Amino acid sequence: MSTADLAHDAGHHDDHGPMKGWRRWVYSTNHKDIGTMYLIFALIMLFLGGASAMAIRAELMYPGLQLLDPDTYNNILTNHALIMIFGAVMPAAAGLANWMIPLMIGAPDMALPRMNNLSFWMLPAAATMLVLSFLVPFFGMGSQINTGWTIYPPLSIKVGPAMDFLIFAIHALGISSVLASINIIVTIFNMRAPGMKMMNLPMFVWTWLITAFLLILVVPVLAGGVTMLLFDRHFGTSFFDAAGGGDPVLFQHLFWFFGHPEVYVLLLPSIGVLSMVIPTFARKPLFGYHSLVGSMLFLAVLGMVVWAHHQYTIGMSLAAVNYFMIGTILISIPVGLMKFNFIATMWRGSMTFETPMLFAISIIIMFIFGGLTGVMLAVIPADMQYHDSMFVVAHFHYVLLPGAVLALFAGVFYWLPKWTGNMYNERLGKWFFWTNILGFNLTFFVQHFLGLAGMPRRIVDYNVQFAEFNFVSSIGAFIFGLSHLLFLYIIIQTIRGKGTVKAEARAWEGAKGLEWEVASPPPFHTWETPPQTQNGMLVSR
Amino acid sequence: MDDAARKRRIRFMAWGLVVFAVLIAISSIRFWSNLAKIALP
């Protein structure tokens, strides 16, 4: 009998199992159900953001205007970024957190289950406003949002009502993120199983703890910034309006004080996923646990004080830009340390190459590539050349796609057997991996050369000298985009369980941790009786 | 720690963090604005 069955036998909760029908989801306070809703929401947003990416690449396939007028192109570009960051990656990471953190620390649920429900249900409302910000200009309500996701004034002050929808969407998304973060912090500090000390926490839990603190520290700053923007637009203030004594550059500081740590908000949970996947498939404990925790804390602190490297060209003092340059280059130390920890974990391990491990290894390679171009961009004289070029687009896609999105895919493949009770089709998983990686590299590798040759980013049309590489990039993007249909198929097939093998409680031979001690799929309630643990491992139930 | 004490601690922490987040949002309008203006023109 599994642990979960034992916990289930307690019997005292049988009268409050899942509600039937839609009530189960709308009123849910169960961390697994809310985690599932986060993940489904993120998947829908991934396809919406992906569709906008396809539109962008279809337009850029050839020089000249093909499908979109310049305003619509800019509008789609803005929405692509916002949907992917706020709609897809953050909710997907929150979904993993909801599902896995209570299971990993031996808690029956999140510390604040009703707030958990609120955190999730703010998201569809926010996403609706976000999509409306894209749509309302087509119904004659003012101009389209042509600012990009950075929504810099003075342009963002001049945009029509669509910008107000966007500002309120950002507010709602921010509140949702902060509430979820509070829940995660409080859960980790108060709900750990007896015997589980902070330095016994699974690395995924550590990464989310640091991420949650980062979110609470920086999201309110963005909220403050966009509120000031709202006041400039409607209530006669001039925080960012030079004509009234304000300063548009001020908004850039506020935005990037949020925006740069946001990169680590997207990256850290994914590093947590890799820290779980690599030891499992290398069949070795994670190398340098303490140093990894230390490097993540260092990364989080450093990430909060280097924001103005996004703004080298605004005319800061030499002392200021030097500080930001040195600080930014220092980031390569904790990141490099993490990568060495992962490589050392694999070293002389008994490795197998299932889909999550394939993703993990490819992420290490591609993320190093994105990191190296990051160091190039951190160097002020070089950045003056690269700034606002396609080189920057290539850089941050090499950081965020492997570092955030692909790592989340690794996590989904890793934990899908736990969630559904079925093993996914490994052959299809590998097909997805290879088409995904091929498409991704084909899309973005050539964009480095486009940028170095002088092609600016955020433009709808370009000189014919850039035609060949843009054509290659678009073909890669279509392969990359289509590969996600296979991802969707694999997930549906695994959930339905037709033609799949049943997963055991410990779905992977090398997997360790409390989450693998409960049945696959876990029952509705788990760890109602806190398990006794030692060094993070189960001692008694 | 008994359940009642744990519940009190959870509530205290959660409300503390809510207040903290709201204070950051409000202070960002003054403090961060002024800091950025003075230090990073």
The pLDDT, as a whole number, for residue A117 is 96
In this prediction, residue A2 has a pLDDT band, given cuts at 50, 70 and 90, of: very low
For residue B31, pLDDT over 70 is answered with: no
Which residues of chain B make contact with A253, given a CB cutoff of 8 A?
32, 36, 40
Q: For residue A358, what are the CA distances in angstroms to A218, A365, A402, A433?
A: 33, 11, 12, 7
Cβ contact, residue pair B14, A183, below 8 Å: yes
Mean pLDDT of chain A: 93
Average pLDDT over residues A230-251: 88
Nearest chain B Cα distance for residue A236, angstroms: 16
DSSP A213-277: HHHHHHHHHHHHHHHHHHHHHHSS--SS-GGGT--HHHHHHHHHHHHHHHHHHHHHHHHHHHHHH
For residue A410, pLDDT over 80 is answered with: yes
> Do residues A205 and A105 make contact, with C-beta atoms less than 8 angstroms apart?
yes
Average pLDDT over residues B22-39: 69
Average pLDDT over residues A328-357: 95
For residue A378, pLDDT over 90 is answered with: yes
Among A190-199, A280-289, A526-535, name the one with the lowest average pLDDT: A526-535
Average pLDDT over residues A24-52: 96
Cβ contact, residue pair A190, B6, below 8 Å: yes
In this prediction, residue A539 has a pLDDT band, given cuts at 50, 70 and 90, of: confident
For residue A10, pLDDT over 70 is answered with: no
The pLDDT, as a whole number, for residue B32 is 61
Nearest to A247 among B14, B20, B37 (CB): B37
The pLDDT, as a whole number, for residue A140 is 87
The pLDDT, as a whole number, for residue A242 is 86
Exposed/middle/buried for residue A119 (C-beta within 10 Å: 0-12, 13-18, 19+): buried
Among A142-151, A168-177, A244-253, A328-337, name the one with the lowest average pLDDT: A244-253
pLDDT digits (tens, 9 = 90+) for A50-107: 999 999 999 999 999 999 999 999 999 999 999 999 999 999 999 999 999 999 999 9
Residues on B contacting A at a C-beta cutoff of 8 Å: 6, 9-10, 13-14, 17-18, 20-22, 24-29, 32-33, 36-37, 39-41
The pLDDT, as a whole number, for residue A6 is 41
The pLDDT, as a whole number, for residue B34 is 64
Share of chain A above pLDDT 90, in %: 88
Nearest chain A Cα distance for residue B37, angstroms: 7
Nearest chain A Cα distance for residue B21, angstroms: 6
Distance in angstroms between the alpha carbons of the first and the last residue of chain B:
51
DSSP A146-180: -S-TT--TTHHHHS-THHHHHHHHHHHHHHHHHHH
Cβ contact, residue pair B32, A257, below 8 Å: yes
Nearest to B10 among A111, A219, A320 (CB): A111
pLDDT digits (tens, 9 = 90+) for A303-332: 999 999 999 999 889 999 999 999 999 999
Nearest to B21 among A186, A216, A257 (CB): A216
Cβ contact, residue pair B32, A227, below 8 Å: no
pLDDT digits (tens, 9 = 90+) for A132-147: 999 999 998 889 999 9
Which residues of chain B make contact with A257, given a CB cutoff of 8 A?
28, 32
For residue B29, pLDDT over 90 is answered with: no
Average pLDDT over residues A345-373: 95
Cβ contact, residue pair A185, B25, below 8 Å: no
> Do residues A7 and A527 make contact, with C-beta atoms less than 8 angstroms apart?
yes
For residue A222, the chain B residue with the least C-alpha distance is B25
Cβ contact, residue pair A254, B20, below 8 Å: no
In this prediction, residue B23 has a pLDDT band, given cuts at 50, 70 and 90, of: confident
In this prediction, residue A3 has a pLDDT band, given cuts at 50, 70 and 90, of: very low
Cβ contact, residue pair B22, A257, below 8 Å: no
For residue A237, pLDDT over 90 is answered with: no
Cβ contact, residue pair A220, B21, below 8 Å: yes
Instruction: With H, G, I as helix, E, B as strand and everything else as coil, classify residue A540.
Output: strand
For residue B5, the chain A residue with the least C-alpha distance is A190
Which residues of chain B make contact with A258, given a CB cutoff of 8 A?
none
* pTM for the full predicted model: 0.93
For residue B35, pLDDT over 70 is answered with: no
Share of chain A above pLDDT 70, in %: 97
pLDDT digits (tens, 9 = 90+) for A462-516: 999 999 999 999 999 999 999 999 999 999 999 999 888 999 999 999 999 999 9
The pLDDT, as a whole number, for residue B36 is 56
The pLDDT, as a whole number, for residue A30 is 95
Task: Quote the Cα angle for A65-A69-A72, to 5°.
Answer: 135
> Do residues A169 and A506 make contact, with C-beta atoms less than 8 angstroms apart?
no
Q: Which residues of A141-168 are buried (b: 16+ CB within 10 A; e: fewer)?
A: eeebbbbbbebbbebbbebeebbbbbbb
Which residues of chain B make contact with A239, given a CB cutoff of 8 A?
33
A68 φ/ψ sector (left φ>0, alpha ψ -120 to 50, else beta): beta
